[in-house]
């Protein structure tokens, strides 16, 4: 479960949002909606535990995985090395076969042994997203995870997300494009300068 209680945040004397309330139960998705600069990324950072200057309460009852605009893929390492590192950060040890499967699911089989510097922006993002297939985190915080992906990539990602929800996971995401699969998800709207 993830619960937000009267959450307010000020940055540089500007009020980003005031009195946010939300409750997400296992198996539910929540879409954060708002214009550029309305504080979506800050909200994600608060939920992930990266940003602590806020009023109100955030209650998380499970481990979370945060993927932001910068998603931790190093240019010098290969996709496999990157993925292995990101998973080991949460002490997840895996058979190499599973890593390959996860990367194959995101159509990265051909790029396995080149450094990520040679990959496109969308492909790098897929490397980070492959982590979702293997993680044990119950709460996913995906800030603009659908951007920079092509249509097949978006399809794979929403499949993975739906499987996560079906298994009782929690999904918090933001997206400027409409994601048809999640059109029915609850929304939390942030207004600029509210």
Partner 1 sequence: MMLLLRELKIMLRSPAGAIQSLMFSVLVIALFPLAITPDPDQLEPLGIGLIWVVTLLSCLLAADKSLAGDYADGSLEQMVLSDYPLWWVCLVKSMAHWVSCALPLLLMAPILGAMLAMPLDRIVWLMASLVLGSPILSLFCMLGAMLTVGLNQSSALLPILIAPFLVPTLILGTQWATTGGEAFYGYMLAALLCLSLVTLPFATAVVAKIAVSR
The residues binding partner 1 (CB under 8 A) are 45, 48-53, 66, 68-77, 81, 85-86, 88-91, 115
- Judge residue 102's burial from the number of C-beta atoms within 10 Å of its C-beta, 0-12 exposed, 13-18 middle, 19 or more buried: buried
What's the maximum distance between 2 C-alpha atoms anywhere in the chain? 50
Compare residues 54 and 182 and give the one whose CB is closer to partner 1.
Answer: 54
Shortest approach of partner 1 to residue 183 CB, angstroms? Answer: 29
Tell me the C-alpha distance between 32 and 174, whole Å: 5
Shortest approach of partner 1 to residue 124 CB, angstroms? Answer: 9
Compare residues 27 and 63 and give the one whose CB is closer to partner 1.
Answer: 63
Tell me the C-alpha distance between 83 and 169, whole Å: 21
Shortest approach of partner 1 to residue 55 CB, angstroms? Answer: 16
Tell me the C-alpha distance between 48 and 125, whole Å: 19
C-alpha gyration radius of the chain: 17
What's the distance, CA 42 to chain centroid? 13
Compare residues 80 and 182 and give the one whose CB is closer to partner 1.
Answer: 80
Residue with tokens 């990959």: 119
Shortest approach of partner 1 to residue 81 CB, angstroms? Answer: 7
Compare residues 36 and 93 and give the one whose CB is closer to partner 1.
Answer: 93
What count of residues does the chain have?
Answer: 194
Compare residues 83 and 182 and give the one whose CB is closer to partner 1.
Answer: 83
Compare residues 48 and 142 and give the one whose CB is closer to partner 1.
Answer: 48
Residue with tokens 């993830």: 2
Shortest approach of partner 1 to residue 85 CB, angstroms? Answer: 6
Shortest approach of partner 1 to residue 90 CB, angstroms? Answer: 5
Residue with tokens 């995870």: 145
Q: How many CB atoms lie within 10 A of CB 119?
A: 19
């Amino acid at each position: 479960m993830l619960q937000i209680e009267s959450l307010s945040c000020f940055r540089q004397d500007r009020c980003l949002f005031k009195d946010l309330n939300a409750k997400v139960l296992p198996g539910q998705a929540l879409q954060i909606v708002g214009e550029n600069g309305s504080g979506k990324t800050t909200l994600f950072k608060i939920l992930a535990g990266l940003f602590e200057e806020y009023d109100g309460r955030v209650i998380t009852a499970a481990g979370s995985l945060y993927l932001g605009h910068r998603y931790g893929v190093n240019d010098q390492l290969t996709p496999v090395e990157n993925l292995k590192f990101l998973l080991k950060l949460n002490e997840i040890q895996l058979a190499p076969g599973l890593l390959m499967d996860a990367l194959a699911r995101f159509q990265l089989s051909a790029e396995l042994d080149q450094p990520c510097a040679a990959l496109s922006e969308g492909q790098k993002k897929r490397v980070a997203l492959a982590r979702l297939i293997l993680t044990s985190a119950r709460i996913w915080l995906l800030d603009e995870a659908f951007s920079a992906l092509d249509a097949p990539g978006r399809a794979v990602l929403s499949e993975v997300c739906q499987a996560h929800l079906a298994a009782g996971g929690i999904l918090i995401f933001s997206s400027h494009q409409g994601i048809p699969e999640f059109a029915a998800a609850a929304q939390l709207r942030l207004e600029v300068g509210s």
